[in-house]
């Protein structure tokens, strides 16, 4: 089926990549894998995971570009409006120190007000929230790729380290509670 939309295109390439990595993995001769205990031991499945992540990164990147464009568009529009206001208030080119100082004051006040108004607005908040969300998706894919590389080098993944942190945190809490109980018993 021919891809019609960007989503179809992305799905098509994802399928193509998965198909060939799977087929190559199945077709590859096992004796060479048998001898490998190093980072290449799971090359085919690792390559598959990484290519899937790279394809998905592309999708997230499209979303990110959309929101980052809107972000800079909002900044540029606010800048233009603020500059027009400054031009209306200070039509002449300043000629002395006092005039320059007052121009600077007017410029800063108008720009600070207009930009604060923008940052306070719902449209900025919503777009910024989505922009950060897309950036996090990119980070997530990057983390997943790093995990594949870490595991191929026999190192713990981020999730495995997080599990240890969680366990440590819970153990610390239990120890603290026990210490408090012990203190109470000793007081009695």
Contacts to another protein by CB under 8 A: 95-97, 100, 104, 107-108, 111-112, 115-116, 119-122, 124-126, 128-129, 132-133, 136, 139-140, 143, 161-162, 165-166, 168-170, 172-173, 176
Q: How far is the CB of 155 from another protein (least distance, A)?
A: 15
Residue whose entry in the numeric block shows the structure tokens 């923008």: 118
Indicate the residue among 15 and 105 with the shorter CB distance to another protein. 105
Q: How far is the CB of 136 from another protein (least distance, A)?
A: 5
Gap between the Cα atoms of 15 and 52, Å rounded: 9
Q: How far is the CB of 12 from another protein (least distance, A)?
A: 28
Indicate the residue among 15 and 104 with the shorter CB distance to another protein. 104
Sign of the alpha-carbon torsion through 33, 39, 43, 49: positive
Q: How far is the CB of 48 from another protein (least distance, A)?
A: 23
Indicate the residue among 72 and 165 with the shorter CB distance to another protein. 165
Q: How far is the CB of 2 from another protein (least distance, A)?
A: 34
126's tokens? 């919503």
Q: Give CA 147 to chain center in angstroms.
A: 16
Q: For residue 121, what is the DSSP state?
A: S
Indicate the residue among 144 and 152 with the shorter CB distance to another protein. 144
Determine contact, residues 19/110, Cβ cutoff 8 Å: no
Q: SS3 helix, strand, coil % of the chain, rounded to 5?
A: 85, 0, 15
Number of Cβ within a 10 Å radius of residue 83: 14
The SS3 of residue 120 is: helix
Indicate the residue among 97 and 185 with the shorter CB distance to another protein. 97
């Amino acid at each position: 089926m021919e891809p019609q939309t960007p989503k179809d295109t992305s799905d098509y390439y994802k399928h193509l990549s998965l198909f060939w990595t799977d087929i190559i993995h199945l077709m590859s001769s096992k004796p060479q894998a048998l001898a490998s205990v190093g980072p290449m031991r799971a090359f085919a499945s690792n390559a598959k995971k990484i290519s899937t992540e790279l394809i998905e990164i592309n999708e997230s990147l499209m979303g990110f570009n959309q929101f980052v464009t809107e972000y800079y568009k909002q900044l540029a529009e606010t800048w233009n409006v603020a500059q027009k206001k400054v031009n209306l208030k200070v039509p002449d080119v300043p000629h002395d120190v006092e005039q320059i100082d007052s121009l600077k004051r007017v410029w800063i006040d108008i720009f600070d007000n207009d930009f604060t108004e923008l940052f306070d607005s719902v449209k900025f908040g919503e777009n910024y929230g989505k922009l950060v969300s897309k950036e996090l998706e990119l980070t997530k894919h990057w983390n997943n790729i790093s995990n594949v590389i870490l595991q191929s080098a026999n190192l713990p993944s981020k999730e495995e380290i997080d599990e240890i942190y969680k366990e440590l945190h819970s153990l610390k809490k239990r120890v603290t509670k026990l210490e408090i109980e012990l203190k109470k018993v000793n007081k009695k």
